[in-house]
Amino acid sequence: MDVRQQMDALIEKLNAYNEAYYQQNTSLISDQAFDQLLAELQKLEAEYPLFANPNSPTQRVGGTITKNFSSVTHQFPMLSLGNTYNAKDLEEFDERIRKTLENEPYEYICELKFDGVALSFWYQHGQLIKGVTRGDGTRGDDITNNVKTIKSLPIRVHSSIFPEEFELRGEGYMPISSFDQINEEKIRKGEAPLANPRNAASGTFKMQDSAEVAKRNMECFVYAYLGNENPFQTHEDSLNHIASQGFPVSPTWRKCQNMSEVLQYIDDWAEKRHDLPLHTDGIVIKINDFGQQERLGYTAKSPRWAISFKYPSEIAKTTIESIVFQVGRTGNITPVANLKPVYLAGTVIKRASVHNANEMQRLDLRHGDQVFIEKGGEIIPKITGVDASARKEVNTLFDFPENCPACGSPLQRVEGEANHYCLNDTVCPPQIKGKIEHFIQRKALNIENIGTETIDLFFEKGIVREIADLYDLKAENFIGLDGFQTKSIQNILSGIEKSKNIPFRQVLFGLGIRHVGATIAEKLVLQFHSIENLQQATFEELIAVPEIGERIAVSVQDYFSKEANQNTITRLKAAGVQLSEEITEIVLEGIHLVGKSFVISGVFKNFERDELKAKIIAHGGKVVSSISAKLDYLIAGDQMGPAKLEKAKQLSIKMISEEEFLDMLN
């Protein structure tokens, strides 16, 4: 047997032992014997790296060093869910479902909402090829080497039902037992303990050494199937098959026939959830049938067929020690209370938001007050009340400042708003640095390899004092700065150069005009096409744009009226940043397909898949990804997926060719 055959045989044998142990709870070999075989394989891989297999069981113990995680565009956006904290909202959600489905029968699947890290697992030809973080929902980080250390996650699957390419979604987490063990070790060494399992999981999955990740025994639960080919009729079918293939699916999910059963499920787990090996913060409720999910559709941020129920917030009491006033990117002044540390909902809380001057006045906050805090889905917990009975006479009121704590400029309160603002945005350091951070983010100019610390350093040294300064950076600017090597400097300069190709809609969002988010920026570009047209737009022309109200129009005109912003635009234009864009809308070409739904499968002569979708929409039709009894047509091309073909036959769905589709348009 040659070396490659020997390595392949070891991989096959070790993978079989792993599968039996982690997916079937069966030990076919002793731990010592397994470790000996694994060590033998590791030795061969080190000696013959050309024969190394990416799906080798040695990947489970890590060892790969990742200096920078590459950014990956999600095949399907990782959307967030709408939240609710009460039964009334759930009943209203149920009523919306009933109306949209026109009283058609439907079921719910209820699942526990785990407090971990959302992950995407990509499979191709039965092999795990990528593990990706959620990121901003559109793009995430490729952490494949770290994901492969999750021992309960199959690296390969043998299923005749899964298509050649598919994706699974899940929650990566650090078991509470691992968290406690790590903290015990850290305390013993005199190191600061990890804050909570959720943050620990997030930090672990972003470690650069996968061998260190492997030592932390990370786990995951898989909860969703996605793919252009969907062989399943329901979410229930997909969960059952995913579990049958050895994937870790939490057995806590339940099918519910109505909202009454959903509420019973929520009540059943209100206390039991605390006995699980990880933290949970609520329940996810989904429509079971994939076809009905398609018909219900999506908003810009979340699916209409799912909702999250959050259990009531936990409350703790502690002492308020001081209040600091933070200056945001837009000049907004936010009071944040420093607290005597207290444990709440799995986290040690040291700070809590007070929001604004109105809230400070409502709470009547004073030095040394005993305050109640809660963590109801917020990143920074909030103060909800004061224990007046514990207040001492010497406790003095906190005063809201009259001047900016960063630059000393007088604060102003905008009419109709509760917040105070520093309007000195071209000089105030936190505002300038916040604008630069906003400008380089993924949804804006997507300039990688520059973080908050780098921006702070550039600002402190006077190298970058506004966003246009980024395009004047040269290698010599980094001379004498600690921590920058030739490669890292080149990566930064390369990222800045690439940003010159970012579309105008993202640039406009990146300028940080108050009230102009990504969606509003796109609508403005769709209407005005260039920065010059937008600068010259009248108030009446601005408010004539869909979704642009008076507040946004005033903010846009105010931005372009300032000389400093005009100079920035001139410099960005000179640097070659995209300041114009022709966004093409799908223009209605006809109404022949109005009310008709289509699934596309296979390869076509006259169209790419996206072109065919656009053609259907342009004639009033709707494109869906899964076959249901409500589907009107399946457009069948060459190399059509067998699962879709079989399901279409079972449901008697009309199948048409590319030529027959074109005839329909005429």
* Domain CATH number, residue 14: 1.10.287.610
pLDDT over 50 at 194, yes or no? yes
Q: Who's near 635: CB < 8 A, 6+ residues apart?
A: 598, 599, 600, 601, 602, 604, 612, 655, 656, 657, 658, 661
**Among the ranges given (29-33, 60-64, 461-465), the one the predictor scored with the smallest mean pLDDT:** 60-64
Query: What region does 573 belong to: left with phi over 0, alpha with psi -120 to 50, or beta?
Result: alpha
Please give the structure tokens belonging to residue 30.
């002793």
Helices (H), 297-342: none
pLDDT of residue 587: 63
End residue of a domain, out of 269, 290, 310: 310
Confidence band for 21, pLDDT divided at 50, 70 and 90:
low
We report the CATH number of the domain holding residue 237 as 3.30.470.30
Q: How many domains does the chain have?
A: 6
We report the CATH number of the domain holding residue 519 as 1.10.150.20
End residue of a domain, out of 393, 411, 443: 393
- The separation between CA 249 and the C-alpha centre of its own chain, rounded to angstroms, equals 21
pLDDT over 70 at 345, yes or no? no
Is 468 in the same domain as 562? no
Hey, how many other C-beta atoms are within 10 angstroms of the C-beta on 421? 21
Buried b (16+ CB within 10 A) or exposed e, 539-562: eeebeebeebeeebbebbeebbee
Report which DSSP code applies to 69: P
SS3 of residue 130 by DSSP: strand
**Among the ranges given (137-141, 262-266, 392-396, 522-526), the one the predictor scored with the smallest mean pLDDT:** 392-396
Is 474 in the same domain as 508? no
* Average pLDDT of the residues in 417-424: 85
Confidence band for 438, pLDDT divided at 50, 70 and 90:
very high
C-alpha distance from residue 14 to each of 44, 215, 340, 503 (Å): 14, 19, 51, 49
In the chain, % helix, strand, coil (3-state, to 5) comes to 40, 20, 40
C-alpha distance from residue 159 to each of 130, 144, 196, 542, 583 (Å): 19, 22, 37, 55, 43
End-to-end CA distance of the chain: 65
Is 235 in the same domain as 159? yes
User: Hey, which residues does 117 pair with through a beta bridge?
Assistant: 172
In a 13 Å sphere around the CA of 421, the CA atoms on its Cβ side amount to 14
Please give the structure tokens belonging to residue 199.
């943050």
488 found inside a domain: yes
- The separation between CA 511 and the C-alpha centre of its own chain, rounded to angstroms, equals 23
Out of 206-220, 230-244, 537-551, 635-649, the most confident range is 230-244
Q: Distance (Å, rounded) from C-alpha 652 to C-alpha 630? A: 11
Please give the structure tokens belonging to residue 656.
């048409």
290 found inside a domain: yes
Confidence band for 530, pLDDT divided at 50, 70 and 90:
very high
Q: Distance (Å, rounded) from C-alpha 157 to C-alpha 154? A: 7
* Average pLDDT of the residues in 229-236: 93
Out of 184-198, 415-429, 570-584, the most confident range is 570-584
Residue type, 470: L
**Among the ranges given (269-278, 391-400, 585-594), the one the predictor scored with the smallest mean pLDDT:** 585-594
- Write out pLDDT tens, residues 54-103: 667 776 554 555 556 788 888 888 888 888 878 899 999 999 999 999 88
Is 495 in the same domain as 517? no
Is 143 in the same domain as 291? yes
Q: Distance (Å, rounded) from C-alpha 539 to C-alpha 109? A: 49
Confidence band for 130, pLDDT divided at 50, 70 and 90:
very high
**Among the ranges given (56-65, 228-237, 253-262, 384-393), the one the predictor scored with the smallest mean pLDDT:** 56-65
Domain assignment of residue 446, given as a range: 429-501
pTM: 0.54
| Nearest by Cα to 179 from 151, 152, 202 | 202
SS3 of residue 446 by DSSP: coil
339 found inside a domain: yes
- Write out pLDDT tens, residues 500-517: 999 999 999 999 998 898
453 found inside a domain: yes
Output the average pLDDT for the chain. 86
pLDDT of residue 378: 46
Residue 312 burial (CB < 10 Å; 0-12/13-18/19+)? exposed
585 found inside a domain: no
pLDDT of residue 59: 64
414 found inside a domain: no
pLDDT of residue 283: 94
Please give the structure tokens belonging to residue 470.
């980024």
pLDDT over 80 at 256, yes or no? yes
Is 125 in the same domain as 204? yes
564 found inside a domain: yes
Residue 557, H or E segment? helix 550-561
Is 242 in the same domain as 164? yes
Out of 137-151, 247-261, 292-306, the most confident range is 247-261
- Write out pLDDT tens, residues 314-329: 788 899 999 999 998 8
Is 33 in the same domain as 127? no
pLDDT over 50 at 364, yes or no? yes
Higher pLDDT, residue 572 or 23: 572
Is 514 in the same domain as 487? no
We report the CATH number of the domain holding residue 612 as 3.40.50.10190
Is 255 in the same domain as 125? yes
| Nearest by Cα to 212 from 259, 143, 140 | 143
What are residue 272's phi and psi, to 5 degrees?
Answer: -60, -30
Is 303 in the same domain as 243? yes
Please give the structure tokens belonging to residue 148.
């492969």
Q: Distance (Å, rounded) from C-alpha 84 to C-alpha 367? A: 34
pLDDT over 90 at 140, yes or no? no
pLDDT of residue 78: 87
Hey, how many other C-beta atoms are within 10 angstroms of the C-beta on 211? 14
Confidence band for 279, pLDDT divided at 50, 70 and 90:
confident
Q: Distance (Å, rounded) from C-alpha 425 to C-alpha 327? A: 11
What are residue 455's phi and psi, to 5 degrees?
Answer: -60, -45
627 found inside a domain: yes
Instruction: Sort strands 280-287 and 306-310 into parallel, antiparallel or unpaired.
Output: antiparallel
pLDDT over 60 at 212, yes or no? yes
Is 658 in the same domain as 603? yes
For residues 377 and 409, the answer to whether their CB atoms sit within 8 Å is: no
* Average pLDDT of the residues in 326-333: 89
Q: Who's near 153: CB < 8 A, 6+ residues apart?
A: 121, 128, 147, 170, 220, 222, 247, 248
pLDDT over 60 at 30, yes or no? yes
pLDDT of residue 182: 87
Percentage of the residues of the chain whose pLDDT score is greater than 90:
39
Place of tokens 């999506």: 298
Residues belonging to the active site: 113
| Nearest by Cα to 119 from 52, 161, 166, 173 | 173
For residues 180 and 195, the answer to whether their CB atoms sit within 8 Å is: no
User: Hey, which residues does 220 pair with through a beta bridge?
Assistant: 172
Out of 215-229, 289-303, 359-373, 410-424, the most confident range is 215-229
Q: Distance (Å, rounded) from C-alpha 340 to C-alpha 318? A: 6
Hey, how many other C-beta atoms are within 10 angstroms of the C-beta on 527? 17
Instruction: Sort strands 420-422 and 139-141 into parallel, antiparallel or unpaired.
Output: unpaired
